[in-house]
């Protein structure tokens, strides 16, 4: 029996729940080492929660991690370190079950956010069309994947050819870091198509995040924004942008 694929977001959230620890280092820098680039805390290589070497494939990712560590105050707050958490989950989890994680990402195409549309009110229908139609048009042109729309929440079976095309696009990512980043973006938005569009540069991270939250933004304009919900959304946005930054660097 195959292992259950790791959920990078769940791994990240587990790290977030760890108690804060007092800062134990003065400087966070980057060093080139065998296999890539490492976070150095006072010149010593850092480890992941599973005690693997925290080594990433390129300098931009390593520098982003080092910035997160350098910006910590008296206590180390994992919740403020999305790139570090993504790297940890890539090394400790996704690298072991790469095939299964890619399959999990691709499965989102069977019920992609962009395919489910409101029937009313008219303003929301128009907002969704403006946000989602360009993504679907991109998928058709770039991936050869044409999807069927559904009114409301009624499930619609998507063409096998479209699902296969998305699967091929996801399988093209071989780096555990890229796959973990794609998983994070997909699970946060509910759309593998938005995630792929951002990953391939067809959408900016900001545009992808806005598209995924068109319904929520409509409700905010109508009823106002809840403060706690806004805080949670901001935290998710940091995770999304960190993942977009990682995959862009690869």
Q: What DSSP state is assigned to residue 42?
A: T
Task: Say if residue 89 is in the same domain as residue 128.
Answer: no
Which of these, 39, 79, 88, lies nearest to 59 by C-alpha position? Answer: 39
What CATH number did the domain enclosing 25 receive? Answer: 3.30.2180.10
3-state secondary structure of 38: strand
Q: Do the domain assignments include residue 163? A: yes
Cα dist from 193 to 94, 178, 223, whole Å: 21, 15, 29
* Residue span of the structural domain in which 182 resides: 98-249
Domain boundary among 55, 74, 96: 96
Do both 80 and 122 map to the same domain? no
Contact 111, 166 (CB under 8 A): no
Would you give the distance in Å from CA 204 to the centre of its chain?
Answer: 13
Please indicate, yes or no, whether residues 87 and 102 belong to a single structural domain of this protein.
no
Strand runs labelled E in 98-241: 116-117, 150-151
Q: What does pLDDT average to in each consecutive run of 10 residues of the chain (250 residues)? A: 52 54 96 97 97 98 98 95 98 97 98 97 98 98 98 94 98 98 98 98 98 97 95 97 97
This prediction's pTM: 0.91
Whether residue 1 lies inside any domain: the answer is no
Angle between helix 176-189 and helix 192-199 axes, rounded to 10 deg: 130
Query: Could you give the CA distance from residue 10 to residue 239 in angstroms, rounded to a whole number?
Result: 12
Q: Say whether both 128 and 78 belong to one domain.
A: no
Give the pLDDT of residue 153.
86
What is the C-alpha to C-alpha distance for residues 220 and 233, in angstroms, rounded to an integer? Answer: 12
- Going 80 to 81 to 86 to 92, the CA torsion angle's sign is negative
Q: Is residue 2 part of a domain?
A: no
Which residue among 30, 65, 96 closes a domain?
96
Provide the number of structural domains found in the chain: 2
Q: Are residues 152 and 172 in the same domain?
A: yes
* Per-residue pLDDT tens over the stretch 73-127: 999 999 999 999 999 999 999 999 999 999 999 999 999 999 999 999 999 999 9
Q: Are residues 134 and 161 in the same domain?
A: yes
- Domain identity same for 90 and 155: no
- 3: in domain: no
Question: Is residue 17 assigned to a domain?
Answer: yes
Q: Last residue of some domain: 80, 96, 112?
A: 96
Question: Are 127 and 242 within one domain?
Answer: yes
Question: Is residue 116 included in any domain, yes or no?
Answer: yes
Same domain, 159 and 85: no
Residues 238 and 116 in one domain: yes
Residues 21 and 125 placed together within one structural domain of the fold:
no
Question: Is residue 129 domain-shared with residue 237, that is, in the same domain?
Answer: yes
- Is 154 part of any domain? yes
CATH number at residue 150: 1.10.3580.10
HSE-up of residue 244 (Cα within 13 Å, Cβ side): 24
Whether 134 is covered by a domain: the verdict is yes
């Amino acid at each position: 029996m195959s292992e259950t694929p790791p959920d990078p977001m769940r791994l990240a959230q587990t790290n977030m729940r760890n108690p804060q620890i007092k800062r134990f280092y003065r400087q966070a820098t980057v060093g080139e080492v065998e296999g890539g680039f490492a976070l150095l805390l006072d010149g010593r290589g850092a480890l992941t929660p599973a005690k693997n070497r925290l080594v990433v494939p390129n300098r931009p990712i390593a520098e982003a991690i080092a910035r997160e560590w350098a910006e910590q105050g008296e206590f180390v707050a994992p919740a403020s370190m999305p790139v570090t958490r993504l790297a940890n989950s890539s090394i400790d989890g996704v690298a072991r079950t790469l095939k299964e994680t890619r399959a999990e990402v691709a499965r989102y195409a069977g019920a992609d956010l962009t395919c489910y549309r409101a029937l009313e009110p008219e303003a929301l229908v128009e907002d969704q069309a403006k946000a989602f139609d360009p993504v679907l048009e991109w998928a058709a042109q770039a991936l050869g994947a044409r999807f069927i729309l559904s009114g409301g929440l009624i499930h619609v079976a998507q063409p096998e050819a479209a699902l296969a095309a998305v699967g091929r696009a996801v399988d093209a990512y071989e780096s555990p870091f890229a796959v973990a980043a794609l998983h994070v973006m997909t699970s946060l938005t509910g759309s593998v198509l938005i995630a792929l569009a951002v990953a391939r540069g067809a959408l900016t991270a900001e545009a992808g995040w806005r598209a995924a939250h068109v319904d929520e933004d409509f409700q905010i304009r109508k009823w106002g924004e809840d403060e706690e919900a806004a805080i949670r959304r901001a935290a998710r946005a940091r995770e999304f942008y960190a993942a977009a930054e990682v995959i862009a660097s690869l």
